[in-house]
Structure 1
Amino acid sequence: GRDRFVEAVWDWKEHSGDTIGRQMRRLGSSVAWSRHCFTMDDDLSEAVRKVFVQLHEEGLIYRGKRLVNWDPVLHTALSDLEVMSGEEKGHMWHIRYPRTDGRGHLVVATTRPETLLGDTAVAVHPEDRRYSDLVGTELELPLTGRTIPVIADEYVDSEFGSGCVKITPAHDFNDYEIGKRHGLQMINVLDENAALNDNAPEAYRGLDRFEARQRIVEDLEAGGLLEKIEDHRLMIPRGDRSHAVVEPYLTDQWYVKIAPLAQPAIEAVEDGRLEFVPGNWSKTYFDWMHRIEDWCISRQLWWGHRIPAWYDPEGSIHVGMDEADARRRSGLADDVPLEQDEDVLDTWFSSALWPFTTLGWPREKEYLERFYPTSVLVTGFDIIFFWVARMIMMGLKFMDDVPFRTVYIHGLIRDGHGQKMSKSKGNVLDPIDLIEGIELEPLIRKRTTGLMQPQMAPAIEKATRKEFPDGIPAFGTDALRFTFASLATTGRDIRFDLGRIEGNRNFCNKLWNAARFVLMQTEGKAVSPSASPDVIDRWILSRMHRMVAEVETQLGAYRLDLAAQALYEFIWNEYCDWYLEFSKSTVQASDEAAAAGTRHTLLTVLETSLRTLHPIMPFITEEIWQRIRAPLGIEGESIMKTAFPAVGDTDPAAERDVAWLQAVIQGVRRVRSELNLPPGKVLDAWLKDGDTGDRERSKRFAETLRQLARVSEVQWADPEMDTAQCAVALVGDMKVLIPLKGLVDVDEELARLDRQLERELADLGRSESKLGNERFVQNAPEAVVAQERERLAAHRANVENLESQRARLEQLRQ
């Protein structure tokens, strides 16, 4: 019974209800854990009842018989948002409705012949001349012995089918409205299991709706009343939990009168008190809010906030905070028996109150005054209507203010094939499994246990074995968080794949190794800022300030992806790949003042980068920060309590100088790579056609070029120097020349390139052939086609690169 079920749910909650909390802690969420709330806590339950009672008193909650979406498996009403409609194959049955005057029949088309038994009219368009003389006459309703009228209504599309529409007010939402307009009888022919009830002819009572459909079609055909059957594709509504076909069902339910609540919520977004990011979601919000209908809030379930309404023997309704309060409000004596409504409230009803009930409303004021309204709600677009709009409406109603100033809408995380993650599909990725790793067999058990459709288990197991043959390796929290941030393009869905998170785990390793290098260079050694830092130190500090400014700007614009990109590019490319290499010669030089200054810059840039990165990668940044703060003389117990870095001045001159240095080094390295020269081979290098600035920089950076470009000497060539036997790299107008005589066996290199080119051209041809096949492009999964297009682009780039290398080698033969 109900009491034992509720007791079992509470027991489950005690044992398993902390899963979300554990996931949040493991993911590094920094929240007020002492303010943990559960929707069924006593204080929150009291707040829910108070809201219900107040809205009922104001006439904004009422009980009425209306058509609802009914789930015949879960035996409960569903809101429109809990119904998922998709196109499926079906049929259109054309049925003859005989005229009672014996002068022929009207043909009516329907996709649901079983509801014919509840028809109460046939409608035609008032301007359809074919039927104008039949409006007001009667038709025989097949198989029932009843007669029904022909009515005129502008809803009918006279161009569709015969122009005649069967009207079943108790089993179709549009027919329900037509029935109300014309005062038609509403005959419900289905029970809560979607089987035919006692309002149906005796021959069909007790039959499942689909079995009844078959029997009715057979009987219509036997009676000569079936004109024809056509294949037809139609939208089928299914419950989002049970996946059962949902029935429009006439029943008594509780509703919120929504229009008076919706208008202030529309105005709050219109006048800018609340904004959506990205802004295009406000249009989606308005479209729904302007078409909003009364909200069915009762559910035929046992678990949830029970509706605070009681019925006396006459069926009168009494609402209150509890039974005693209901009696007091209605002036009922204690001896009048009352029975509480069995239904519970839609879970989104209590969720709509969350922004203020969790802060203590209606009893406590301290947290409400400090934190309401909050700054930003971060959520997915799929619950704008379920949750966001309702929080806005309830916040304005009970707090006279919006619950938050900004609603940031992120995309849904989909699997690698672009499919929405769901338990029923077995493609959900538990973040803890990505953080800690999981072996294959436990992963399969997790994905196939507790399915609402157990028959899906074999398919889920097969797909899991194919996608994760070795299980999921451990990636750590920071890599996972950085992946989410880097993929968080505003409003777009995220196609998640392990390759991205693996790359970001490498980023963590890169940062860790950089910190180890810095500590090796600084521990126990002099660290002090230089009075006149050299150009490379000035460059990295300038680039750091640009990075901090970019991250601050992008975080303010909710572009987490661009903030993550700026951090990644600066830390990996500029700090690790360039500055650490530049610094090696300085920290090991005999000039101790310069070495101490560079050590200070190494630490300063690392520490600033850690503080900037910390909101996205909290764990590794905290660990490294604790190790490097002492040499910088930083006090404090945690990086969390330090200030976010301030944006400093940039140094464009230093940036131009180092950009020149990088371009020369990259030019020499590119020549090495293209000509397959060993990275440790010391090369001769000549500069040609440069200006005064180029000459000054070549002198200043001579030692750095020798070390990082691995060249013996950087010399300036005469204008007449023969460059035919040189590889050339361009830096602006200046040429970097690498004499190749004696370095390269041209014939051998050409042969090697020809072999590579042959392979690439073959791969390119296969890819072009695949994408030229229309059947492949139209029928293959979208992700597979996209992957093939990426391969094609890569093959083309490789071919172009190889042909360029080959042309350069051919020049050496001349």
Structure 2
Amino acid sequence: MPKPTVTKDQELWVSAHSEEEALTKAAAKFNVPAADIQLARDEDVLDTWFSSGLFTFSIFGWPDQTEDLEAFYPGSLLETGHDILFFWVARMVFFGQRLMGKLPFKEIYLHPMVRDAHGRKMSKSLGNVIDPVDVVRGVTLEQLHEQLADANLDPKEVDKAKQGQKQDYPNGIPECGTDALRFALCAMTQGRDLNLDILRVQGYRFFCNKLWNATKFALLYFPKDTVYEVHTVASAQSPDLSPMDRWMLSRLSLAVDRVNGGFAAYDFPAATTHCYNLWLYDLCDVYLEYLKPVFASGTEAQQAAARRTLYTTLELGLKLLSPFMPFVTEELYQRLPRKDTSCPSICVAPYPTNADTPWRSEDLESDVDTVLKMVHLIRSTRSEYNLTNKQKTTAHLIIAQDLKVEALRNLFRSLQSLANSELSDEQPSIGCSILTVSDKIEVHLVLKGLIDPQKEIAKLEKKKESLSQTIAKLQQAMAADDYTSKVPAEVQKTNTEKLAQSQGEIERLQAAMETLKLM
């Protein structure tokens, strides 16, 4: 629809189906003779969606057959929201097929609708509209209130919006940075709606801090004026690599496979999850802790193998994460002691592929998982008895002979520092807490001399008494004549599970007390 400009002393606008109608409308609207009005037809089009429909080829010089049009049309992917699928995307398809003879893109990725943490649509009157800039830079509650003054809201709606802001952001919105916000949006992209939780975004800001500190700490293991390169297929077969070096490379290989698979399927939560797990759980929680005694007392060959494995994990791990967190990964990438300096920036470096990391070993990962379960049980037990880091415990492993006994024992030795314990080759003695790892593995943890048995027995007696009362109440309720007819099935199921859980806990407490009595 043409939208002529009315030229008088200033530029004014009027919409009409023809110039004659526009002239008549303008004369009436501005109360001036038609002869005093000069009309100028706007070169643009009033219909936004019509203009948007031409976008995929008009920006390349169409209707002229330009080099850009030949090179860049059609595209491959359109990213948009499902709410404008008909308004915008359909018109692009219509015009592209009709005017260019080709569809403008092969695939359409529909992102979800961003809502607040409670699943509500963002509304100024609710005070739950989140400006991305406020998440990136941070904003106080007072500043959020001030923004409402410029929102042209009714005074009653302003008060309501302030209450909403006070409830959701009592301390304002913390500064999270662009990397944390981008990572959070990709991690939460599932379904038709995305409930944006600022606390989760803040959690990924803490992840950025962890990433920074872990890399900074890891770089301390690399001597100055030395450079490194990632493992090749051949170097990863070196006999100098320890089982834990091979485990780290296996976990890296898994992450590369899953992240690339996530990108291929547009499953961004899967990609972000495996990046997160690689850095936080595999590298920080396990491998860096394993390396401390290696670099403290290991052989030169062991340390050299560990350095190259660590460097490989750092470089490829940063590259994996770079599409989601380009700023922090770029900064850290520039600090790596890289032998290959042909890539000036991480954003132009080749992305890791499965061919680059053929190191997956599911058997080794399974063995390490078993040992980590031992570690977690020991740490949990130490925590229950409030043992300090200075109080080292001795662990005896009881492993069925049909398992890989020596392999598991050697892996435990590698990771025993994580449990603040030492592996004993002797037979377990009296005064051990027995930790069940599986039906074929037990850890006998020596506590004698580290705790006061009588005090611990008294604590367990109190827990046992409390559980006995819970069991008695449940049994009394379940014994009622009308229990099965009047009590909802879900409640009956919950009570049955709670009863079994409490009875099992009573048995464990009794076994623990019997053990303590022997100390």
CA distance in 1, matches of 2:411, 2:9: 76
Amino acid at match of 1:514: A
Equivalent residue for 2:300?
Answer: 592
CA distance in 1, matches of 2:206, 2:177: 11
Q: Structure 1's 359 and 522: CA in aligned 2 closer, same or farther, altered over 3 A?
A: same
1:524 alignment partner, one of 224, 233, 237: 224
Q: Structure 1's 704 and 752: CA in aligned 2 closer, same or farther, altered over 3 A?
A: farther
Q: Structure 1's 682 and 347: CA in aligned 2 closer, same or farther, altered over 3 A?
A: same
The Cα of 1:351 is off from its aligned counterpart by 1.7
The Cα of 1:561 is off from its aligned counterpart by 0.8
CA distance in 1, matches of 2:117, 2:467: 32
Structure 1 unaligned blocks of 5 or more:
10-301, 316-336, 762-792
SS of the residue corresponding to residue 369 of structure 1 reads helix
SS of the residue corresponding to residue 408 of structure 1 reads strand
The answer as to whether partners of 2:464 and 2:509 remain within 8 angstroms in 1 is no
CA distance in 2, matches of 1:724, 1:340: 97
2:418 alignment partner, one of 694, 708, 711: 708
Alignment of 1:128-139 (within 5 A): none
Amino acid at match of 2:371: L
CA distance in 1, matches of 2:507, 2:225: 52
The answer as to whether partners of 1:690 and 1:735 remain within 8 angstroms in 2 is no
Equivalent residue for 1:175?
Answer: none
Equivalent residue for 1:548?
Answer: 256
CA distance in 1, matches of 2:242, 2:83: 54
Equivalent residue for 1:88?
Answer: none
Equivalent residue for 2:275?
Answer: 567
CA distance in 2, matches of 1:626, 1:803: 57
Deviations 1:70-129 (A, max 9, x none): xxxxxxxxxxxxxxxxxxxxxxxxxxxxxxxxxxxxxxxxxxxxxxxxxxxxxxxxxxxx
Equivalent residue for 1:734?
Answer: 441
Deviations 1:622-651 (A, max 9, x none): 0000001x3444332210010100212134
The Cα of 1:449 is off from its aligned counterpart by 1.2
Q: Structure 1's 440 and 486: CA in aligned 2 closer, same or farther, altered over 3 A?
A: same
Q: Structure 1's 798 and 566: CA in aligned 2 closer, same or farther, altered over 3 A?
A: farther
Equivalent residue for 1:503?
Answer: 203
The answer as to whether partners of 1:413 and 1:493 remain within 8 angstroms in 2 is yes
CA distance in 2, matches of 1:524, 1:808: 53
Amino acid at match of 1:511: L
1:665 alignment partner, one of 367, 375, 396: 375
Amino acid at match of 1:658: V
Count how many residue pairs are aligned between Structure 1 and Structure 2. 464
The Cα of 1:546 is off from its aligned counterpart by 1.0
Q: Structure 1's 724 and 810: CA in aligned 2 closer, same or farther, altered over 3 A?
A: farther
The Cα of 1:434 is off from its aligned counterpart by 0.3
The answer as to whether partners of 1:354 and 1:391 remain within 8 angstroms in 2 is yes
CA distance in 2, matches of 1:802, 1:503: 35
SS of the residue corresponding to residue 701 of structure 1 reads helix
Deviations 1:648-691 (A, max 9, x none): 21342432442333232223223223444445421222222422
Equivalent residue for 2:146?
Answer: 445
SS of the residue corresponding to residue 311 of structure 2 reads helix
Alignment of 1:187-586 (within 5 A): 302=13, 309-311=18-20, 345-363=46-64, 365-451=66-152, 453=154, 455-489=156-190, 491-524=191-224, 531-532=238-239, 533-586=241-294
The Cα of 1:509 is off from its aligned counterpart by 1.2
Amino acid at match of 2:224: G
The answer as to whether partners of 2:368 and 2:411 remain within 8 angstroms in 1 is no
2:456 alignment partner, one of 746, 769, 776: 746
2:349 alignment partner, one of 637, 642, 658: 642
CA distance in 1, matches of 2:374, 2:165: 49
Identity %: 34
Deviations 1:166-198 (A, max 9, x none): xxxxxxxxxxxxxxxxxxxxxxxxxxxxxxxxx
CA distance in 1, matches of 2:298, 2:431: 42
RMSD of the TM alignment (CA)? 3.9
The answer as to whether partners of 1:723 and 1:737 remain within 8 angstroms in 2 is no
1:685 aligns with 2:392: no
Structure 2 unaligned blocks of 5 or more:
25-36, 472-493, 515-519
Amino acid at match of 1:686: H
1:809 aligns with 2:509: yes
Q: Structure 1's 724 and 712: CA in aligned 2 closer, same or farther, altered over 3 A?
A: closer
CA distance in 1, matches of 2:254, 2:49: 44
Deviations 1:754-780 (A, max 9, x none): 79989x99xxxxxxxxxxxxxxxxxxx
Q: Structure 1's 725 and 804: CA in aligned 2 closer, same or farther, altered over 3 A?
A: farther
Equivalent residue for 2:364?
Answer: 654
Amino acid at match of 1:575: L
The Cα of 1:350 is off from its aligned counterpart by 1.3
CA distance in 2, matches of 1:7, 1:487: 49
The answer as to whether partners of 1:475 and 1:501 remain within 8 angstroms in 2 is yes
The Cα of 1:551 is off from its aligned counterpart by 0.5
The answer as to whether partners of 1:724 and 1:812 remain within 8 angstroms in 2 is no
The answer as to whether partners of 1:438 and 1:471 remain within 8 angstroms in 2 is yes
TM-score, with length taken from structure 1: 0.51
Equivalent residue for 2:486?
Answer: none
The answer as to whether partners of 1:527 and 1:600 remain within 8 angstroms in 2 is no
CA distance in 1, matches of 2:401, 2:203: 41
Amino acid at match of 1:433: D
The Cα of 1:516 is off from its aligned counterpart by 0.8
Deviations 1:463-492 (A, max 9, x none): 212322222110111111111011011x33
Q: Structure 1's 416 and 3: CA in aligned 2 closer, same or farther, altered over 3 A?
A: farther
Q: Structure 1's 423 and 367: CA in aligned 2 closer, same or farther, altered over 3 A?
A: farther
Structure with greater Cα Rg: 1
TM-score, with length taken from structure 2: 0.78
The Cα of 1:700 is off from its aligned counterpart by 2.5
SS of the residue corresponding to residue 334 of structure 2 reads helix
The answer as to whether partners of 1:542 and 1:650 remain within 8 angstroms in 2 is yes
The answer as to whether partners of 1:582 and 1:704 remain within 8 angstroms in 2 is yes
The answer as to whether partners of 2:7 and 2:40 remain within 8 angstroms in 1 is no
Q: Structure 1's 635 and 688: CA in aligned 2 closer, same or farther, altered over 3 A?
A: same
Amino acid at match of 1:637: P
CA distance in 2, matches of 1:687, 1:539: 21
Alignment of 1:145-156 (within 5 A): none
Deviations 1:212-251 (A, max 9, x none): xxxxxxxxxxxxxxxxxxxxxxxxxxxxxxxxxxxxxxxx
CA distance in 2, matches of 1:534, 1:573: 19
Equivalent residue for 1:186?
Answer: none
Whichever structure has more strand as a proportion of its residues is 1
Amino acid at match of 1:582: Y
The answer as to whether partners of 1:668 and 1:709 remain within 8 angstroms in 2 is yes
Q: Structure 1's 752 and 643: CA in aligned 2 closer, same or farther, altered over 3 A?
A: farther
Whichever structure has more helix as a proportion of its residues is 2
The answer as to whether partners of 1:587 and 1:596 remain within 8 angstroms in 2 is no
The Cα of 1:455 is off from its aligned counterpart by 4.6
